[in-house]
Each structure stands twice: as structure tokens, then as C-alpha cells.
Amino acid sequence: MIIPGSGSQALAADLAAILDEDLAPVEYERFPDGEVMARIGDVSPDRAVVVASTPTSDSHLELLQLQDAAREAGANDIVTVLPYMGYARQDKVFKPGEPISSRAVARAISANTDHVITVNPHERAVCDFFEPSAIALDAASVLADPLPHDLVEPLFLAPDDGAIDIAQTVRDTYGTGETDYFEKTRLSGSEVEISPSDAAVAGRDVVVVDDIVATGSTMSESIAVLNERDAARVYVACVHPLLAQNAVTKLARAGVERVIGTDTLERPVSQVSVAKVVAEEL
């Protein structure tokens, strides 16, 4: 049985269809004091697959409730699918006194599950924070499909060296083009500085590929550099289109041709699904 979190309903429905599994009749409520309540309905799954992205604190709470309800309903085997794992980027202590937030949430999620599946977490090592077995799937290949077939001398560009692998995956799936990467220095939560490489981009179509677009600063700064160097069309492709705050406006003002994201987070730009990649693991 597939048990969807409120923010992963479309992906969970796709998974249920692909796997020919039942979809639990989950209901989501909020009490007057702000607390969340997720009910999985009158079901008795032997194996429960909870599919829930966790971009917010409430979605973490909702996930814990869904796992607990599944166990309470008699599930012997609970698989937790985290299409987008929130707090994953705080994976070490950057300044004294800080928590390792990804470890803290991983431990909480581990309390009521037998296996965890993540999709392109910021660092694969985050899987080590879970106590049952946990794996990281790479869904970047699905980002190639919506790209136009007529890209001119395409360059698949990572905005920093951490995204090189997924830029290469998208290039390989697209079938042609070069890859390169910029250097990024983060100045604050919403400010970055991009140091370009010497790649020749004039007149070429560029696809900037990253695991996540959060505030859009990384992408808009990268696009600005590409525009200064007379790139032709600039596409943005990311696995997790978080698009916080004014990210959509930043990208539009920067002159992006199109933003392509997956359904790990259900947004207007979520044009491709990771369902098949996840289904193969279930």
C-alpha cells in the first residue's frame, strides 16, 4: 500500500499506478492550535510505502504521523520514500554550536521505518544518518526529456563542482553536448558569488543543472554570467524545484528560457516524474 504525504500526492498516485498497489485514503487536517493530523484511513497494510517529501517542519511531523499510523494499522514492513529530504544541506557543523540537522531528522524518521529511499540528497553520505538501511537514487536522467531537440552546441553546466555528476548524467541522457562547471562561494543563505570557468559559451545553448533550486540565487547569478558572455538560450534543470521566496521572479528577471524540475516537489515547473526511478527500487 502506498501512503502519500500531502505534498507528494501526485508522485504517490503515479507510483501506485506503476506498481499496481493500493493508495491509502489519507486525510490531512490542522487543529486550531496549528498542530497537524494525518490519518491513513481504515486500512491494514502488511507492507506500507510512505511517500512524503519534507520541505517544511510540518511535513516532517506529518511523515512521522504517517509512519506511526501505518505501524499502528499492522504494517510489518514500512518503506519511507523521501523524494525531497528537507534539512539535508545542514549535514555538518558549519559554525560552533550548530546542530547536524540532517542527522537529527534522519534519526527521528528512522524510529518507525525498515528502509529509507532518498532521491538526489545534497550529499549521499546523509544516508549514513539513518539507522535502517537507506539508499540515494539518482533521478537526474529524467531532466533531459523536456529539453528541446534542437539545442545549439549544448553546454551542460554545473554551477559548482558538487553538481558535476548530475550535469553529466543529463548530458549523457540528452545524447550530445559538453559539460563544464563554475565555482561558487556562498556569502549568505540567499547570496552567492559565481566565478566562471573559461568555457566558450557565446552563441551556444546552455543547460544549467543543479540538485536543487532554493532561493534561485545560484541559478540567477550563473545566468547573469552566461548572459554577459553572450550565451544563446539558457535553461535551468534541477531535481528539486524548491523555488523558495522570490526564486521564480529572480530566474525570470535573469532571462531564463525555461525551468525544468521533477515532481519530488510538486510545483508548476515539475514537468517530469521520478516515479519510474523510485518504482524500480520498490
Give residue 162's Cα distance to chain centre. Answer: 15
Stretch that binds ligand R5P, among 58-66, 106-114, 144-152, 205-213 (CB under 6 A): 205-213
C-alpha span between 113 and 23 (Å, rounded): 18
C-alpha span between 5 and 165 (Å, rounded): 29
Catalytic residue among 92, 95, 184, 276: 184
Q: C-alpha angle 104/105/108, rounded to 5°?
A: 95
Choice between 7 and 121, CB closer to ligand R5P: 121
Out of 38, 163, 254, 277, the only residue in the binding site for ligand R5P (CB under 6 A) is 163
Stretch that binds ligand R5P, among 3-11, 140-148, 211-219, 271-279 (CB under 6 A): 211-219
Q: Between residue 168 and residue 197, which ones bind ligand R5P under the rule CB under 6 A?
A: 192
Choice between 80 and 215, CB closer to ligand R5P: 215
255 belongs to the binding site for ligand R5P (CB under 6 A): no
184 in active site: yes
**Residue 172 burial class via C-beta count within 10 angstroms: exposed 0-12, middle 13-18, buried 19 and up:** middle
Locate all alpha helices (DSSP H) within the chain, ordered by sequence.
Answer: 9-19, 57-72, 101-110, 164-174, 217-228, 247-254, 275-279
E strands in the chain: 2-4, 27-30, 36-39, 47-51, 77-82, 115-119, 133-137, 155-158, 178-181, 183-188, 191-195, 206-213, 234-241, 258-262, 270-272
* The three three-digit cell numbers of residue 175, written as one number: 545524447
Stretch that binds ligand R5P, among 35-43, 79-87, 212-220, 253-261 (CB under 6 A): 212-220
Locate all alpha helices (DSSP H) within 112-260, ordered by sequence.
Answer: 164-174, 217-228, 247-254
Residue type, 26: V
Binding-site size for ligand R5P (CB under 6 A) equals: 14
210 belongs to the binding site for ligand R5P (CB under 6 A): yes
120 belongs to the binding site for ligand R5P (CB under 6 A): no
Choice between 154 and 241, CB closer to ligand R5P: 241
CB of 250 to ligand R5P, least distance (A): 9
CB of 213 to ligand R5P, least distance (A): 5
212 belongs to the binding site for ligand R5P (CB under 6 A): yes
C-alpha span between 235 and 105 (Å, rounded): 33
Choice between 192 and 259, CB closer to ligand R5P: 192
91 belongs to the binding site for ligand R5P (CB under 6 A): no
Out of 213, 239, 251, 256, the only residue in the binding site for ligand R5P (CB under 6 A) is 213
* The three three-digit cell numbers of residue 196, written as one number: 566562471
* The three three-digit cell numbers of residue 6, written as one number: 500531502
User: What secondary structure letter does DSSP report for 23?
Assistant: B
Out of 70, 106, 136, 214, the only residue in the binding site for ligand R5P (CB under 6 A) is 214
217 belongs to the binding site for ligand R5P (CB under 6 A): yes
Stretch that binds ligand R5P, among 18-26, 140-148, 159-167, 200-208 (CB under 6 A): 159-167
* Active site members: 184
Residues that bind ligand R5P in the complex, under the rule CB under 6 A: 159-160, 162-163, 192, 210-218
